[in-house]
Amino acid sequence: MINFQSTERTRVRRLPKRGNYDRETVYKILDEAMICHVGFVVDGQPYVIPTGYGRSGDTLYIHGASTSRMLNSAAEGIPVCVTVTLVDGLVLARSAFHHSMNYRSVVILGTARRVESDQEKLSALRIFTEHIIPGRWDAVRQPTPQEMKATVVLALPLEEVSAKIRTGPPIDDDADYALPIWAGVLPLKLTPGIAETDPRLTHKLEAPAHVKNYRRG
């Protein structure tokens, strides 16, 4: 698997040792996270919109309503910046200044294209669903022609990409290590609760295995 090339736009300048251009590492972050933020500019006004996504090979798919300003603007060929972040822990230092977080993040720059093919669009919708909860697509009703028409899907090639990662304990000033202050890392993870049945469910059904056994990361 060929790594991403660092460019003037994707090179990590602040703490460059945290920069990572390994394609496998980037894809693991994208496949674990669920929400991305899409940045774009329309008429001089910047916007950043959170949305779901899915990845297939070297392509990131995003989707939404056909009335979406973000999707319709991006479909016109304007540059976009897509970011994804996972927070792995709170880094609690001895000084307020050196508090931080352990995280994994990805930045994607590029120009998206509108998916016109019904076959590719349906495949992308499957990718979205399976990205959120594997096994769900085959358990639900498939999209109708009207729903397909009401949905816009964009494909963004994963070409100009970088990751930035922080791991490990706090880094304090040498003089502060002797202070009687607790310091360390408080790990964080996404943990599912117990599935809550829709009160309008008309059949006596238990949550399927892909719901009851759901895990992330």
Q: Which of 113, 57, 100, 108 lies closest to 83 in space, CA to CA?
A: 108
**The residue type at 167:** T
Which residue is associated with the tokens 């360390």? 184
Q: Is residue 1 part of a domain?
A: no
For the whole model, what pTM was predicted? 0.92
Structure tokens at 117: 């093919």
Q: Is residue 4 part of a domain?
A: no
pLDDT confidence of residue 15: 78
CATH code: domain of residue 114? 2.30.110.10
Q: Is residue 30 part of a domain?
A: yes
Q: Is residue 5 part of a domain?
A: no
Q: Domain range for residue 100?
A: 16-212
Write out the chain's pLDDT in tens, 217 residues: 789 888 888 788 787 788 888 999 999 999 999 999 999 999 899 999 999 999 999 999 999 887 888 888 888 889 999 999 999 999 999 999 999 999 999 999 999 999 999 999 999 999 999 999 999 999 999 999 999 999 999 999 999 999 999 999 999 999 999 999 999 999 999 999 999 999 999 888 999 999 999 998 7
pLDDT confidence of residue 183: 98
Q: Is residue 71 part of a domain?
A: yes
Q: Is residue 207 part of a domain?
A: yes
The total domain count for the chain is: 1
Q: Is residue 9 part of a domain?
A: no
pLDDT confidence of residue 14: 80
Whole-angstrom distance, CA of residue 94 vs CA of residue 55 = 40
- Phi and psi at residue 130, to the nearest 5°: -70, -25
Q: Is residue 155 part of a domain?
A: yes
pLDDT confidence of residue 193: 94
Q: Which of 24, 36, 87, 86 lies closest to 60 in space, CA to CA?
A: 36
